[in-house]
Amino acid sequence: SEMGTALVYDEEMTRYKLLWVDPTCKIEVPERLTVSHEALVGSGLADRCVSIPVREATDAEILLVHSEEYLEAVKRTPHMSLEDLMEFTLQYGDVYFHPNIYHCARLAAGAAMQLVDGVVMGKMKNGMALVRPPGHHSQRSAANGFCVFNNVAIAARYAQQKYNIKRVLIVDWDVHHGQGVQYCFEDDPSVLYFSWHRYEHQKFWPNLRESDYDSVGKEGGAGFTINVPWNKVSNASNVIHAFCPELVLVCAGFDSAIGDPEGEMCATPDVFAHLTHLLMNLAGGKLCVVLEGGYNLTSLPQSVCHTVHTLLGDPIPRPVNLSGPCTSALESLQCVRSAHKPYWSCLGHKPCLYFSARESQNITRSHWSMGQVRAKIILTCLLL
């Protein structure tokens, strides 16, 4: 199994759920994991992967990212009554607690670290961790957006500490901005956080000013946070190459896929094959994909299968139906570029000529048309 693809999964992470009525949280269900795993088994993909067991993250590992106070507070949740859990939940946004979520959150962070171990030690070439709860919205002292511990942020710190890795790239393709990851690394140039998210001039959740293109990082980390509101992946590829990551972690949300009740976007699941393929060209292929969002129980497992197919080295589906980006997407792209120009010399000279007349004549109403997502992927490939 040398240089194969790792799959990290444990059924235990399906054993928590929403215990009261909350329309915001009702989409975060155990079936998200079961259908994804069953699709991998049913398609024969799971058999072609190397199974890695999960483990619980230790206190010390969780404290790489979270505060002692927060960890101690979450530690008390398994012993709380339903009433106490509801009250505890109220202090955070868009999240719920359950007596078993603390255990699952430890396993989810542990799963991400198990994946990093396998890939960094060279036992496997790349891999995916199927986890619940997700992580990218959780913050130093707060749960948020279905997330308890920040699995990918912990895994990045762990990789740096245990393996002396200097530069980690975190690509966040979830439809939502991973503000928790951004806050964790905003002043740190050793972790480049690149997020591509629906924004709608702050009307899309989490509705933060700091999710916009002009949040570029702080102090020594200026230039190492790249936010691409709307849907652009392509413009930052020069920067990502200049950064020369030693390890790539993905906050892999599939909530931009067609039919997702949260994202309301229309990316077809094969888009994730292309995104995965792109990232496999970085860091000598050392790529760890960690599940975040994705709430449509049909497109989620399909997207997961496309991702694992690609990780295994299978040919990627041919992109079709290329249509162009809309004007505001082009504007936004230009904004990201100029916001980052002071920090990256590779951005200095290249004008924004990614879209030919042929491509821009096709003005679409949706910022996230399937063709647009594909256009970005193809153009990114051309730039790499």
- Residues with catalytic function: 137
Please, are residues 230 and 344 in contact by the beta-carbon 8 Å criterion? no
Q: What tokens appear for 188 in the block? A: 């740190």
Q: Which one among 111, 292, 326, 367 touches ligand Q9C, defined by CB under 6 A? A: 292
Place of tokens 């946070």: 225
Q: Which does 371 bind (CB under 5 to 8 A by kind): ligand Q9C, Zn ion, none?
A: none
Report how far apart, in Å, the C-alpha atoms of 151 and of each of 31, 133, 231, 268, 290 are. Answer: 20, 9, 24, 26, 8
Q: Which one among 10, 117, 172, 174 touches ligand Q9C, defined by CB under 6 A? A: 174
Q: Is residue 174 near Zn ion by the rule CB under 5 A?
A: yes
- Which residues touch 75 (CB under 8 Å, ≥6 apart)? 102
Closest CB 366 distance from ligand Q9C, rounded Å: 19
Instruction: From 31-39, 44-52, 123-131, 144-152, give the range in contact with ligand Q9C by CB under 6 A.
Output: 144-152
Closest CB 174 distance from Zn ion, rounded Å: 4
Peptide bond before residue 206 is cis, with ω within 30 degrees of 0: yes
Please, are residues 54 and 106 in contact by the beta-carbon 8 Å criterion? no
Please, are residues 128 and 8 in contact by the beta-carbon 8 Å criterion? yes
Q: Which one among 32, 132, 176, 340 touches Zn ion, defined by CB under 5 A? A: 176
Site string for Zn ion, 243-272 (x = CB under 5 A): ----------x-x-----------------
Using left for φ > 0, alpha for ψ between -120 and 50, and beta otherwise, residue 20 falls in beta
Alpha-carbon Rg of the chain, whole angstroms? 19
Q: Determine the Cα–Cα distance for residues 8 and 329; give it in Å rounded to an integer.
A: 36
Site string for ligand Q9C, 244-263 (x = CB under 6 A): ---------x-x------x-
Site string for ligand Q9C, 49-88 (x = CB under 6 A): ----------------------------------------
Residues that bind ligand Q9C (CB under 6 A): 24, 94, 134, 137, 145-147, 174, 176, 205, 253, 255, 262, 292-293
Residues that bind Zn ion (CB under 5 A): 174, 176, 253, 255, 293
